[in-house]
Amino acid sequence: MASQSVDKDKYRNYLNAEEVKNIEWRYGAPPNYDVVNKLFEEGRTKIWPPGSLEESVQNLVKTWEMEIFHKTSLDDFKTLDPKKYTFSLNGRKALTLQEVGKLGGYNPLLQTSLPEKFRGYNPDKETADSSHRSFTTTFPRGFALEIFQVYSGPPVIVFKFRHWGYMEGPFKGHAPTGEIVQFYGMAIFELDEQEKIVKVEFFYDPGELLGGLLKSESLDGSAEEPSTSCPVLRNTG
């Protein structure tokens, strides 16, 4: 279980045995990324040299993502400045950290201007917990992230990324396909003088993700039962 002793994560900071203490974890315990790290290592297309800009950016983004998905107290964030931080997707109105926390990790990343009747997944009606349950059930091995290219370094980091996983569980009544689901995008991370993230902008088409999850035939009844009772075992990138 993820609540047992924590070893240092290879790709994320602040996840060693000492630094996970006294943290308010959203799911009661620090996340365990062993399974998704294996998926990442098996499926990545780039292996960046230790100490390179690309490796540093990749680890920063993975650590930022861990904090956004799993920490609830503003005082516990290490990668960003909770008072200054904003997030936006595809040029939409920026969200504060408090607003992101209420929506959960997934919903801010899946905002859409589609009319409701065309939404296979509606982030406006999903909660932080329901969205987490949906995606961790669909991707039992997690949803891996790799940095594809870094165009500029800090304080304004611009990079291209790839996110991928295998649809091995149902999603919104759609049968699992077992196929890879992936998308590419661009992002801008702006850091302040203390090297804390103060602004994040993502640019990508959420339909590239959802299209792969909604193309299979529909299942009868409710098929979205979590694949394990410990949600912290199944994580994003």
* Domains of the chain and CATH, by start: 34-229 (3.10.450.50)
> Low-confidence residues of the chain, pLDDT below 70?
1-6, 220-237
pLDDT for 233 equals 44
- Identify the helix (H) or strand (E) that includes residue 167: none
pLDDT for 64 equals 98
pLDDT for 30 equals 96
> Which of 16, 22, 46, 62 is closest to 197 using CA atoms?
62
Q: Are 44 and 62 in contact (CB under 8 A)?
A: no
Beta bridge pairs of residue 180? 166
Q: Where are the alpha helices (DSSP H) in 29-96?
A: 34-43, 53-70
pLDDT for 131 equals 93
pTM recorded for the entire structure: 0.90
pLDDT for 1 equals 30
pLDDT for 2 equals 37
Question: Can you tell me whether residue 181 is helix, strand or coil?
Answer: strand
